[in-house]
Amino acid sequence: MIDKELTVINNFLDSDSCNILKNTLRSIVIEDKNTPNIYYADLGFANGIDASKFFETGFFSSGDFEEVDTLLKNTILKIKNKVENFFGEKLDLFHFCYHIILPGGYQELHSDSTDLNGDPTGINGTHEPQEYSALLYLGESNKDYIGGELSFPNQKLRLSNKIGDLVIFRGNHEYPHEVYPVKKGIRDSIVLFFCKTENNKPISITNVVTKK
């Protein structure tokens, strides 16, 4: 544990499982139009209530992926339990995605639930319920890719990783983070966001601004 709201767990998922997930998920990514050299696949939904349905229905509807579907579901549940234990809160999965960064790709400094000053970034000034974050590495620094370190400047931390490592951290402005440019190879991860169960409410239709 690095501090009470940031921890790294080594070898959380075995390398065979990481490779199975990686090989399947790479086939369904789409390009992130806003960020060069980044591809992703949304595996949950923008509304936490819907994301929780994943556990009932599974993600892949095709029978071809049944084995991967079970592995993915078990992995997500295992991560959810770990995050709940670490923060001592009952949580809902809000959103999760598979994420790859190619050479030249990076992520600027940001926090997941607020802007860098701590102001809310959600609809109508409410906090988006990305209160807690987790990142599971499906590849390994200095083996599958060069560069791409995850940095938490406030905590003076710059992380390289082994395959299957899990990072858990608070999503607020005390834990801003960035990903340094990937120089070579492909950096694969699954990124998950959780909210307190009590805050997991459907976004009210009255909060949605529609164009006339």
Interacting residues toward Fe ion by CB under 5 A: 112
Of the pair 71, 138, the CB lying nearest Fe ion is at 138
Q: Using DSSP, state whether 114 is helix, strand or coil.
A: strand
Q: Least distance from C-beta 121 to Fe ion, angstroms?
A: 12
Q: Which CB sits closer to Fe ion, 92 or 112? A: 112
Q: Report which residue's Cβ sits closest to Fe ion.
A: 112
Cα–Cα distance between 210 and 212 in angstroms, integer?
Answer: 6
- DSSP label of 124: G
User: Minimum Å distance from CB 130 to Fe ion?
Assistant: 8
Contacts of 6 (CB under 8 A, 6+ apart): 152, 155, 157, 167, 168, 169, 170, 175
Least Cβ distance, residue 14 to Fe ion (angstroms): 25
CB of 113 to Fe ion, least distance (A): 9
Q: Which is nearer to Fe ion, 15 or 160 (CB)?
A: 160
74: helix, strand or coil = helix
Contact 164, 13 (CB under 8 A): yes
| Closer residue to Fe ion in complex, CB, 112/165 | 112
